[in-house]
């Protein structure tokens, strides 16, 4: 079975500073995808960034970047120049690239950006 663990239930950061959210996962598969989602109070799930396991280069989307360590099964999210609108729940998720694949989520990290 695959599992996703987010060890930080809550975090806070000052506006304009950098914060890193951690995520570890467990799988026996070699071909998979990892994702970070943002869920603001409006509760719509928004895909922030994704990483294919076969790619060595870390994914980047504007102020969001990941540190993907495949051997360590670690997938952290770095938010640079934090903005008030980044305040949200953040979920790490994993899916195998197989038929009948399950999308598994971590427990989430509540991020508060302070002015």
d(CA 12, CA 58): 24
- The residue count of the chain comes to 115
Q: Measured from the CB atom, is 57 or 71 closer to another protein?
A: 57
Binding status of residue 75 toward another protein by CB under 8 A:
no
Tokens of 109: 């990290």
Looking at 19-27, 41-49, 62-70, 75-83, which segment touches another protein (CB under 8 A)?
41-49
**Least distance to another protein, CB of residue 27, Å:** 15
| Neighbour-count burial of 24, counting CB atoms closer than 10 A to its CB (0-12 exposed, 13-18 middle, 19+ buried) | middle
User: Using the rule CB under 8 A, is 64 a contact of another protein?
Assistant: no
Which runs of consecutive H residues, i.e. helices, occur in 1-115? none
Does position 43 bind another protein by CB under 8 A? Answer: yes
For residue 61, what are its two tokens? 């989307």
- State in angstroms the smallest separation of the CB of 16 from another protein: 29
HSE at residue 34, side-chain half, CA atoms within 13 A, is 32
Judged by CB under 8 A, does residue 73 bind another protein?
Answer: no
Tell which positions 8-27 bind another protein, by CB under 8 A: 9
Would you tell me which residues interact with another protein (CB under 8 A)?
Answer: 6, 9, 33, 35, 43-45, 47, 50, 91, 95, 97, 99-108
């Amino acid at each position: 079975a695959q599992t996703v663990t987010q060890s930080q239930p809550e975090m806070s950061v000052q506006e304009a500073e950098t914060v890193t959210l951690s995520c570890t996962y467990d799988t026996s598969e070699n071909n998979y995808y990892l994702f970070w989602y943002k869920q603001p109070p409006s509760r719509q799930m928004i895909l922030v960034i994704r990483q294919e396991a076969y790619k060595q280069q870390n994914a980047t989307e504007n102020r969001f970047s990941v540190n993907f360590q495949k051997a360590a099964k670690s997938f952290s999210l770095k938010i640079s120049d934090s903005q008030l609108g980044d305040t949200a729940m953040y979920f790490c998720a994993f899916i195998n690239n197989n038929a009948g694949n399950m999308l598994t989520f971590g427990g989430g990290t509540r991020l508060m950006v302070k002015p």
